[in-house]
Amino acid sequence: MHNQITQSNIRILKFGGTSVSDFDKISTVANYLKERTENNEKLVVVVSAMGKTTDDLMRNVSSISSTPKESALAMLLTTGEQQTISYLSIILHDLHVASIAMTGSQAGIRTKGHYLKSKITEINDQKLIENFKSHDVIIIAGFQGINEQDEITTLGRGGSDTTAVALAAALSAPCEIYTDVTGVFGTDPRIYPETRHIDELSFEEMMELSSLGSGVLETRSVEIARNYNIPIYLGKTLSNERGTWIMPKDQILEKKAVTGVALDNDMEYVTLSYPMNDTKLLNQLFDELEQEEVNIDMISQIVNLDGLQISFTMKDTDKLQIERIFNRLSTNYPAISHQSRSTYAKLSVIGSGMRDMSGVASKVFKSLIHNEIPFYQVTTSEISISYVIDKENGEHAVQSLCKVFNI
Amino acid sequence: MHNQITQSNIRILKFGGTSVSDFDKISTVANYLKERTENNEKLVVVVSAMGKTTDDLMRNVSSISSTPKESALAMLLTTGEQQTISYLSIILHDLHVASIAMTGSQAGIRTKGHYLKSKITEINDQKLIENFKSHDVIIIAGFQGINEQDEITTLGRGGSDTTAVALAAALSAPCEIYTDVTGVFGTDPRIYPETRHIDELSFEEMMELSSLGSGVLETRSVEIARNYNIPIYLGKTLSNERGTWIMPKDQILEKKAVTGVALDNDMEYVTLSYPMNDTKLLNQLFDELEQEEVNIDMISQIVNLDGLQISFTMKDTDKLQIERIFNRLSTNYPAISHQSRSTYAKLSVIGSGMRDMSGVASKVFKSLIHNEIPFYQVTTSEISISYVIDKENGEHAVQSLCKVFNI
């Protein structure tokens, strides 16, 4: 992506599926955009598919195939966003706002990788800048792009956010992401209703929160924002309530030891056993994981007289890929066995001030022990500590830690 | 379009909306395509949107705008075909048929003209030929293309047929168009159930039949087929009943004086009056008609002491354009008045042998007079005679003429 263009009145806005779930809502968004253009702003607006459109399409596909061809599935799913951008453009036109709707292909959003979870490699920013000469609003279909063979691809989970942030990076403009929640809270309010709103958050903290199950914004989006130093505002659609700014760490005034507590229930705990230590097997395993684009974390490995045992955690959405990998490994290593468990959860305590302030780990350990919550694995990073615990203890653990750290 | 490629096993097949109206039907089509590929054929398959998809999208649009922005409407409507090609490709994949689905944009179907009734100017045949190296079936979204600005366009009425025939022309391959009727009949069987099936028809006869309200195949498609000498087969989807071949006139063995009788009820009779003869006014009128792409025929003009009166017939779907034109004419010529009537129909007798065999016109006149059916305007071409009559007399007139000519 190129960074040369700085047009100070450009803003990137993204509205998620619930913000455009029916024509009344699209119309409300359109009126809001009109106000913003009257304020002399040039807007790039990224939208998702309307409400349950993607689910409907997926249900249709399930009725015809259990393992749908991925390239065709990507082509199908992208029609959802293409419909939203068309409707929004029709309504803006009737409001006398000059807009142009563009698919991922038209906006030159180039991707690489698997059809259904591609990554953006390039955006035709010149075409966008050119379009601003005659339009105040450029509407972009989120979640989609085209690969080197001009095939349609989707960006996977949270893809429309990635589209928005990548556009912001390409145009060096701030990014506002609107959903049905008022930004980021210290933890999931459904688990701990007293949780406090976070006004400012560093990219790094947000990345940890995202990857650890908070679900407000996918890691990939925040990663791009951090790499290009693009501030992101997370707000509630058409609300005056204060949202959350995600920004560089050094611009945040008050650094807390612990900013948030996250719980990831969508996790799979996989254990692989082989009667002897074999590095070739491990090599093939990691090659396959990379090829299938399975992200694993919290790896532990035991080698003893019983042979080799390796355990790791991963998103439970990647189960299919893991099955494929083990089938292939079994061909070369018939004695291999594996076990996959969904009964665990990952509990994480995140805070960019954690490193400078001692005692966080100690407080967490004490709290878990005091509440009789066993943990099976622990990992630490610069700004987080994570524990594998039993799923059934997850909510209780979050509540206890929120009280301890005043989250 | 280029004509260099002749790969004798390439076939272009087109399936209309009723042939792909649900997943069972798409599946049946897919199985048929598999059989054809096992017969060593390489297939380009053009499909329309599923059943009522386009109507559903139009209904959505009506609920948000009375004059929807045309570029956005084109973008919206094309999602229907994009969904069909995705589903078909998923099903073919599960049947182990190597297929690739392509939107109009991906197939390089370039268009010019108005967003909602564009004409195809070019097709990327090299890309198609290239794709045949690794695929047996190339599925193309009908009805759509992209213009010079890379904007999505639709081809207007019968657009998927045009896509199929243009592809056939680009690849110099025969074209098979499948619908829910068994090819062409001498007249509409709903009006005259005893009508005879036509096995062979010249391009010219089909063009007259199309333009005069027969509705099996749009004129534009037949025109392309004639220009590139591409035979078209019109058949019933997955039926063994014999369809109709449309081919060069000189290849048809038995030439009949009259091949068919057509009735066009979707016709508007427009009369324009101005108190003096003014050629500038006429110039502006015809310029405007060209710009708005309104096709008119059966023009008559009277100039007398009362001034100028010009009448013409046109498709009633172009009413909106005509209103716009008259509004603009009124600015320059306030004394202009116009009248638009929907009470007339156009009755036509068509036959490529008509010219060589005398007495056709005389027989038609006698039949109309005998049945007491008044007519208001008559035009003749090489292979047809057309009459403006009252709509209420249409069916009776068709039945009488079918009996006279044994249609």
Residue-wise pLDDT for A351-405, tens only, equals 887 876 668 888 898 999 999 999 988 888 888 888 999 999 999 999 999 999 9
- Using CB atoms, which residue from A69, A72, A90 is nearest to B72? A90
| Alpha-carbon distance A63 to nearest alpha carbon in chain B (angstroms) | 8
Q: Which residues of A touch B94 (CB under 8 A)?
A: 64-65, 67, 69
CA–CA dist A197, A243 (Å, integer): 8
Residue-wise pLDDT for A85-106, tens only, equals 999 999 999 999 999 999 999 9
Residue A7: per-residue pLDDT: 57
Write out the DSSP string of B139-175: EEETTEEE-TTS-EEE--TTHHHHHHHHHHHHHT--E
The three-class DSSP label of residue B263 is strand
- Cα–Cα distance list, A345 to A109, A120, A208, A259 (Å): 36, 30, 16, 20
CB A385 within 8 A of CB A378: yes
Residue A6: per-residue pLDDT: 46
ipTM: 0.79
Mean pLDDT lowest for which of A83-92, A135-144, A156-165, B123-132? A156-165
What is the arithmetic mean of pLDDT over B220-227? 91
Q: How many whole angstroms from its chain centre is CA A355? A: 25
CB atoms within 10 A of CB B322: 22
Output phi, psi for A179, to 5 deg. -135, -160
CB B165 within 8 A of CB B203: no
The proportion of chain A whose per-residue pLDDT surpasses 90, expressed as a percent, equals 66
CB B88 within 8 A of CB B48: no
Which among A236-250, B13-27, B185-199, B284-298 has the top mean pLDDT? B13-27
- Using CB atoms, which residue from A76, A106, A150 is nearest to B106? A150
B79/A71 Cβ within 8 A: no
The CB-based long-range contact list for A214-217 (8 Å cut-off, 24+ gap) reads A214/A184, A214/A188, A214/A260, A214/A262, A216/A179, A216/A181, A216/A183, A216/A184, A217/A158, A217/A161, A217/A177, A217/A246
Q: Which residues of A touch B82 (CB under 8 A)?
A: 75-76, 78-79, 82
Q: How many whole angstroms from its chain centre is CA A88? A: 25
Q: Which residues of A touch B151 (CB under 8 A)?
A: 106
Amino acid at B217: L
Mean per-residue pLDDT of chain A: 90
Write out the DSSP string of B326-354: HHHHHHH-TT-EEEEE-SEEEEEEE-TTT
Q: What stretch of H or E contains A274?
A: strand A267-274
Q: Which residues of A touch B64 (CB under 8 A)?
A: 23, 26-27, 87, 90-91, 94
Token pair for A13:
């806005």
CA–CA dist B53, B17 (Å, integer): 9
Residue-wise pLDDT for B385-404, tens only, equals 889 999 999 999 999 999 99
Structure-model confidence comparison of residues B206 and A381, the more confident one = B206
CA–CA dist B217, B207 (Å, integer): 8
What does DSSP say about strands A232-236 and A175-179: parallel, antiparallel, or unpaired? parallel
What is the arithmetic mean of pLDDT over B274-300? 88
CA–CA dist B391, A18 (Å, integer): 51
Q: Which residues of A touch B75 (CB under 8 A)?
A: 82, 85-86, 89, 101, 103
CB A345 within 8 A of CB A378: no
Residue B328 has pLDDT above 50, yes or no: yes
B64/A90 Cβ within 8 A: yes
Residue-wise pLDDT for B337-392, tens only, equals 999 999 999 999 998 878 766 688 888 989 999 999 999 888 888 888 889 999 99
- Cα–Cα distance list, B10 to B86, B123, B175 (Å): 22, 16, 10
